[in-house]
A and B are shown apart, each in its own frame.
Chain A
Amino acid sequence: MDKRMIYLDNNATTPTDPRVVDKMVPFFYENPGNAASRNHPYGWVAEEAVDYAREQIANLIHVDPKEIIFTSGATEADNLGIKGVFEMYSRKGNHIITCKTEHKAVLDACKKVEKMGGSVTYLDVKGDGLIDLDELRAAITDKTILVSIMYANNETGLIMPMKEIGQICEEKGVLFMSDATQAVGKIDVNPKELGIHIMAFTSHKMYGPKGVGALFVNRKNPRVKVTSQMDGGGHERGMRSGTLNVPGIVGFGHAAELAAKEMVQDAERLSRLRDKLESSLLANLEECEVNGNPDHRMPHVSNVSFKHVEGEGLMMTFNQNIALSSGSACTSASLEPSYVLVAMGVGDELAHSSLRFSLGRFTKEEDIDYAIEAVTKGVNHMRDLSPIWEMYKEGVDLSSVEWSEH
């Protein structure tokens, strides 16, 4: 068997860059201190390292280091942002606006807010995956305290119209939060320029270690505060208690510095490879389509539906060699297709037939060549097995068939 392993699931997590690991190691051995220990050199060294990382991360997104709150990851940062704003600004209102294609960390935090007495509007997306700005404008009421819209979607790579959303929030005087997990470190993200007041992101999507993330919280014009969701020693200006993950933060900082230096050239190279992958698959195989607006996408992501082939089965034709994600989660009796694609109106059948390719810094051209061949072969194999492909080829109108849904 071919032992080659190709990783095209960088939106799930990126491998840690060896240069990052090298920077982290001393903070397990020579420098094991707690950054909150103020009375001895171990603590001072740790604190200095955390301050330096905070600067590296702030530089990447063009903000003040004091505006970075460290968390355990983007999920915690999303929770802190949404629940923290809801509690802090409850006297101003109780209404939050978000969107149906957000990550579960945002959607589930919003559901919790609803249980806590808040009201949440979940905006639809258009067929191209982006929100309708007029709908957003119309949804804002005098009770609205927060608009939370993701920067780039994890499944499709679609980039939301951040600048326009920022302007609407500014006009209406509501806070603007963004889950920028998939964007920071991959493309230039500048929250101050876009009018973003709160922004969640994480280290392990930019070649840093897992278990550390951050929330950017704007300090001036406006001064934003969030109610802490973790009580304890009052770390991180009282917004997030808990001993700082010093080695993780050091790694996060160095990953941010590397991203600032390399993301433009990485993005250029990866978008070329992504385009090659996409155009080759579309040329080799009939009846496939790219999901989402191709002009508003992250450079390294492609989401493709292969009609009449189920995504998970397709992945099994090569998943001992290629790691990627499917829009079909055939893991329960309910067989849920991707809610992101369904919200875009892709249709349940096509959502089940989709694959997400996400490239990264360590993806080589030969990996893409291999993937093109393997996916083409896999789709052909699965179509030979597919009764609905046969029916489609015979000209049967599939919508007229009476399926026995189960």
Chain B
Amino acid sequence: MAYSEKLLDHFKNPRNVGTLDKGSKTVGTGLVGAPECGDVMRLQIEVDESTGKISDAKFKTFGCGSAIASSSLATEWLKGKSVDEALAIDNMEIVEELALPPVKIHCSVLAEDAIKSAIADYRKKNGAEVEAEATSEKA
């Protein structure tokens, strides 16, 4: 099974590896997967409150090459997006971009879960604002 150049590049030169302050109100953290299953992804976003856009994203992943590349790519895509735009990222976009083989599709699913989980964490921390936004949208 040969991996795509893009996948290998993300694996060898992973983007945005690191840790944001999970205690910060502007940071959302998603931790998905389990060590017994062979993959754990931690993806974090930092939201600029003035613009509502994701200003920084970091990850760390325990897993195979496809899992690492999927999460690295996800952090690249997240930066500069609004939270709602980030929520729209679909795992199949990751599959296409990295040309993941069928047996590795679950790695992209995990990345999508990590994004959603990080956003949920951010929204929970900022509960009031989210509700306010939702209300204003309705109105």
A404 adjacent to chain B (CB < 8 Å)? yes
A312 adjacent to chain B (CB < 8 Å)? yes
B75 adjacent to chain A (CB < 8 Å)? no
* B65→A316 contact, CB < 8 A: yes
Q: For A309, what are the chain B residues with a Cβ–Cβ distance below 8 Å?
A: 62
Q: For A388, what are the chain B residues with a Cβ–Cβ distance below 8 Å?
A: 35, 40, 62
**How far apart are the CA atoms of A323 and B14 in the complex, in Å?**
23
* B60→A387 contact, CB < 8 A: yes
A4 adjacent to chain B (CB < 8 Å)? no
Chain B: interface residue count, which band? 20 to 34
**How far apart are the CA atoms of A352 and B104 in the complex, in Å?**
16
The residue of chain B having its C-beta at the shortest distance from the C-beta of A319 within the complex is B65
* A390→B60 contact, CB < 8 A: yes
Binding-face segment, A48-56, A102-110, A120-128, A329-337: A329-337
Candidates B36, B41, B42; contact of A348 at CB < 8 Å: B36
A264 adjacent to chain B (CB < 8 Å)? no
A362 adjacent to chain B (CB < 8 Å)? no
* B17→A384 contact, CB < 8 A: yes
**How far apart are the CA atoms of A309 and B60 in the complex, in Å?**
12
The residue of chain A having its C-beta at the shortest distance from the C-beta of B114 within the complex is A404
Q: For A332, what are the chain B residues with a Cβ–Cβ distance below 8 Å?
A: 103
**How far apart are the CA atoms of A206 and B80 in the complex, in Å?**
58
Q: For A32, what are the chain B residues with a Cβ–Cβ distance below 8 Å?
A: none
A398 adjacent to chain B (CB < 8 Å)? yes
* A385→B35 contact, CB < 8 A: no
Q: How many residue pairs at the A-B interface have CB separations less than 8 Å?
A: 102
Given A316-B65, A385-B14, A406-B113, answer yes or no on A310-B39 (Cβ-Cβ < 8 Å).
yes
B122 adjacent to chain A (CB < 8 Å)? no
* A330→B68 contact, CB < 8 A: no
B67 adjacent to chain A (CB < 8 Å)? yes
CB distance from B85 to the nearest CB of A (A): 24
* A313→B65 contact, CB < 8 A: yes
Given A330-B64, A385-B68, A388-B40, answer yes or no on A349-B33 (Cβ-Cβ < 8 Å).
no
Total number of A residues with any Cβ neighbor in B under 8 Å? 31
For B11, B14, B63, B106, the residue with the greatest tally of chain A CB atoms inside 10 Å of its CB is B63
B92 adjacent to chain A (CB < 8 Å)? no
* B36→A385 contact, CB < 8 A: no
A356 adjacent to chain B (CB < 8 Å)? no
**How far apart are the CA atoms of A335 and B34 in the complex, in Å?**
11
Chain A 303-341 near chain B by CB (<8 Å), digits 1 or 0:
000001110110010000000000010111101010000
Chain B 28-56 near chain A by CB (<8 Å), digits 1 or 0:
00011111111111100000000000000
* B64→A387 contact, CB < 8 A: no
Q: For B19, what are the chain A residues with a Cβ–Cβ distance below 8 Å?
A: 390
User: What would 6 more interface pairs be, CB under 8 Å, given A308-B35, A388-B40, A406-B32?
Assistant: A312-B65, A313-B67, A331-B103, A337-B38, A390-B19, A404-B117
Which residues of A line the B interface, CB within 8 A? Answer: 308-310, 312-313, 316, 328, 330-333, 335, 337, 347-349, 352, 382, 384-390, 398, 401, 403-406
A-B residue pairs in contact (CB < 8 Å), sample of 16:
A309-B62, A312-B38, A330-B66, A330-B104, A335-B106, A347-B36, A352-B38, A382-B62, A385-B61, A403-B35, A404-B32, A405-B36, A406-B33, A406-B37, A406-B109, A406-B110
